[in-house]
Structure 1
């Protein structure tokens, strides 16, 4: 990520993912309902995603120089697709897996450690492909 604008865009996309996760959680609460513990865990992930996004907004200037530029387009493409995908995931286990990778991606970016970015980015790309929502190559 080479500009504060890119970081702000990513933060917005992570916020959109948190909103999608929230909508998906509400769906899971309808009959047949997922276990209460699963719902609570997903709400925790939603809060963590929102926290990560808010931290990125606050740290946009610092993060712009953190060395994340090579993966910028891939990260933005994946997170843009993630929001749409979260709402369509049918199995609660897949929601758990997907949200864990989103959190890992957000944490790698927020920490300013680009070496931690590749694994969650690739995992999200594989999950998107498996769910039929592959991002464009970039």
Structure 2
């Protein structure tokens, strides 16, 4: 576990997108997951989140400077490493299945979807409570799984759960208010 190299599967070449979206119902390019390219963009961001998870785990391990890592931290690190691997696998499946995962009526802008994943990657790097991190990673896995269905309702539910967890993490990591009596 002390090795900084991590198994990161090379992302498959993007699928040809010329025939991915039906010509009859061409959604607005701003609408999330409306094209294979947008699904691939989500997969890219999920892979970035997996990179953040790995970097965070390695930083936490190095913090012990060669000393024994307490059992609870080892267990949390193992769980996060397993989640990292699963997130990479799901992202890779999204690359391969991009055309099948197109959602024509999500009603969400692509930028909001991408911003949520960017926020998640940032929070993973700076999170202070390990439980928040584990739940945040679970929400990312849920989003990846929902996106692979290509169905609106599971994707919207996963987005809301991710947003709610990001809000929890923001509150838990907010600086303490100054003591008014000081």
Per the normalisation by structure 2, the TM-score is: 0.65
- Counterpart position of 2:59: 27
1:132 to 1:36, Cα distance in 2 relative to 1, 3 A: closer
- CA offset at residue 75 of structure 1? 1.9
How well do the aligned residues superpose, as a CA RMSD in angstroms? 2.0
Give, in angstroms, the shift of residue 121 of structure 1. 1.2
- Structure 2 gaps, min length 5: 1-32, 172-182
CA distance in 1, matches of 2:96, 2:120: 22
User: In structure 2, do the counterparts of structure 1 residues 68 and 17 end up closer, same or farther at CA, with 3 Å as the change threshold?
Assistant: farther
Partner of 2:96: 58
Match in the other structure for 1:100: 138
Alignment of 1:110 onto 2:142: no
Is the 2:43–2:95 contact (alpha carbons within 8 Å) kept by the matching residues of 1?
yes
> Match for residue 13 of structure 1?
45
Q: Check whether the contact 1:52–1:106 (CA below 8 A) recurs between aligned residues.
A: yes
SS at match of 2:128: coil
Q: How many corresponding residue pairs?
A: 132
Q: Which residue of 2 aligns with 1:69?
A: 106
Q: Secondary structure at the match of 1:15?
A: helix
Say whether the 8 Å CA contact 2:39–2:94 is kept in structure 1.
yes
- The structure with the largest helix share of the pair is 1
- CA distance in 2 between partners of 1:116 and 1:126 (Å): 15
1:75-123 CA deviation, whole Å, 9 max, x = no partner? 2221122111110111111110100000011100012232112232112
Superposed, 1:69-88 pairs within 5 Å as 69-73=106-110, 74-88=112-126
Higher relative contact order (CA 8 A, sep 6+): 1
CA displacement, residues 11-54 of structure 1 (integer Å, 9 cap, x when unaligned): 10000000001111112323375532211111000001101111
Return the alpha-carbon distance in structure 1 between the equivalents of residues 105 and 76 of structure 2.
33
